[in-house]
Amino acid sequence: MAKVSVVIPASNEIYLQQTITELLTKSNDDTEVIAVLDGYWPDKPLEPDPRLVILHKPKGGMRSAINAGIDISKGKYIMKIDAHCNVAPNYDTALPADMEDDWLVIPRRYSLEMADFSVRYERPIVDYEYLCNAYKIMNRDKIPELRAWKWNERTENRVNILIDETMTFQGSCWFANKEEFMKRVGYLNDDPNGYGTFNSEAQELGLKYWLGGGKVMVNKKTWYAHLWKGKPYREKYLELYGKTYARTGHNQRLNGIAYTVDFWMNNRWENRIHDLEWLIDRFKPVPTW
């Protein structure tokens, strides 16, 4: 049995092979990498490796791709990571070494340089994020959104605490005990009348852990680097695929955001043992609350 199963949901991903190479090169022999090809095949076939599992499925979106990867994973631990990331050496041993079974763990996050897949150490690190008050912060569509924001003050004030609680996270990488994850979260909700195919991954997972009696923790002893898909990435995507980059449809995105706000701000999760107000109080003072 593979000790760690790394799930990569992928759809028209420019840097999938580089991400796979980094994950395999920097891990141990008992770690498997599962690339879930969501409705597409890469223009260039992925390089074969005995630890690489390639799963092709009909187009269903990121949430269903994560579920499909978890479903076939063989590891005691599961790690989800985006298809445009680099990782620290021995990430697969560092993460389980400092965790409890009821934790969802997030590595320290760096920014990734698109040109050569290197870590942009000159950019600020991200160790902590907070959930903003959806009714006080409107997004670019002028609607409430329960989203994560970088918590720079907490990052500065708690710099010497290497394993620590974090309120929420970005969603691009997380690590969990698989058995415990399935009890607390199960398969991600990809109902089109709920979150939809893409939205609010971190909100669903993080709040089910915190409000269900577990914890979300940051491990600063290891890291991953995530690529910001700004203008250079979008231009390259348009050149390669002949269409504009979009994670999900605009209306589905808005519907998923509205569902997230209503579901969590109004404490509609029936399996909770804490309300959202409990989490705000645990981390107070929280900006915007």
Sign (positive/negative) of CA torsion 168, 173, 175, 178? positive
- pLDDT score at 231: 86
Nearest-angstrom CA–CA distance, 270 and 27: 39
197: in domain: yes
Range of the domain at 202: 86-282
60: in domain: no
211: in domain: yes
- What is the identity of the amino acid at 21? T
Determine the straight-line distance between the first and last CA of the chain, rounded to whole angstroms. Answer: 45
Nearest-angstrom CA–CA distance, 258 and 63: 17
5: in domain: no
* Tokens at 150, concatenated: 């970088």
16: in domain: no
92: in domain: yes
Mean pLDDT, each 10-residue run in order, the chain (289 residues)? 91 95 95 96 94 96 96 97 97 97 98 94 96 86 90 96 98 97 96 91 98 98 93 86 79 90 97 98 97
- pLDDT score at 1: 61
- pLDDT score at 190: 92
Which residue's entry shows tokens 């690339």?
A: 35
162, 95 in Cβ contact below 8 A? Answer: no
Structurally, the chain folds into a number of domains equal to 1
219: in domain: yes
68: in domain: no
- pLDDT score at 227: 94
Report the CATH number at residue 105: 3.90.550
Which residue's entry shows tokens 């993460």?
A: 95
92, 4 in Cβ contact below 8 A? Answer: yes
